[in-house]
Structures are given as C-alpha cells and as structure tokens.
Amino acid sequence: MIEKEELDSLLPHKGRMLLLTRIIEYNLKERVLCAEQIITKDCLFYDSAIEGVPAWVGFEFMAQAISALSGLSGRDRGDPPQIGFILSVSSIKIKLPFFEAGSIVKLRVKESGRMEQVYNFEGEAFLEGKKVLEGKLTVMVANDQQVNSMVNKKVHNLID
C-alpha cells in the first residue's frame, strides 16, 4: 500500500490537485493499478450544495490513478513524474449523481493499448463493492519540452 505522502513523489499533481488518498495495489507487468479516494470537504471538487463530489469527477480520479501507474513505472527507471493529458473519455457509464462526503471510492485502471505516447485505459470506480462508474480513457504523456511547446502555441493562438 502506498499512502498519500509517497504519492506526492509519484505524481506531478501537488497540494489540493492531488486527489488520490492511497494506492491499494499495482502490477507494472500487467499495467493495472487500484487506488482509493476518500471523499472529504477538502476535495478540490467538493460541492457543499450536494454535500459531495459530482460523479463525473471519478474520471479525474481515474486519470490520477493512471498518472500514479506512470509514476511507479518511471520510478523504476529513475525518471521523474511525467505530465499527462486526458485526450478523451468514452463508453461512459455513471450510475449515481455524486459521491457523498465520507465515502471511499475504489478505483481500478488497466492499460488496454498504446501507441508511442498515447495510452488507452479501462477505468472503473466502486462504492461498497458495487461498480458505479466506468469508462475508457485515452491519455497522452508529454515531456517538458512538448508541454511548453503546446502551452506556448495555445497562448499564441489565443492572442492572435
């Protein structure tokens, strides 16, 4: 089990942007990771009107689980955490409107394919053993030079 303190060294997310509570288990060979997020009022996406976090945020939880898997793989190679981007979320099934404060969301992500720096994952979220959210995520890992180039192009396009 990997707790939040160690997660800080595996993901580029810091402070309130780090959403995962812990990694329960992982298998780098099988490219699968299971994690937990405890829903609290401190969560960046907490909405006091519903006393919880909207269910769609579960895909950001999954994306961070993917980032944690990448961070674990990188740590084995001696590489720092890499920045990634969600390119798409598809085949979405959401069976509840929100995650209530105090609930423990269990997440499972498994890589289902890749081409160069673009990866496909299947993700699932569970509450009390019941699957409440699932979907396919396509993500891209970018190095610092690529990120800077993309951000600069985007800013340039906004200015023009």
Q: What is the DSSP string of 72-95?
A: HHHHHHTPPP-EEEEEEEEEEEE-
Per-residue confidence in pLDDT tens, the chain, 160 aa: 998 888 888 888 888 889 999 999 999 999 999 999 999 999 999 999 999 999 999 999 999 999 999 999 988 888 888 888 999 999 999 999 999 999 999 999 999 999 988 999 999 999 999 999 999 999 998 866 656 566 555 545 555 5
Residue with tokens 């995520």: 137
Q: Would you list the domain boundaries of the chain?
A: 2-159
Q: Are 47 and 54 in contact (CB under 8 A)?
A: yes
The rounded distance, in Å, linking the Cα atoms of 94 and 125 is 9
* Burial (CB count <10 Å: 0-12, 13-18, 19+), residue 139: buried
The CATH superfamily holding the domain 2-159 is Hotdog Thioesterase (3.10.129.10)
String of DSSP letters for 112-131: EEEETTEEEEEEEEEETTEE
Using alpha carbons only, what angle is made at residue 58 by residues 53 and 61, rounded to the nearest 5 degrees? 105
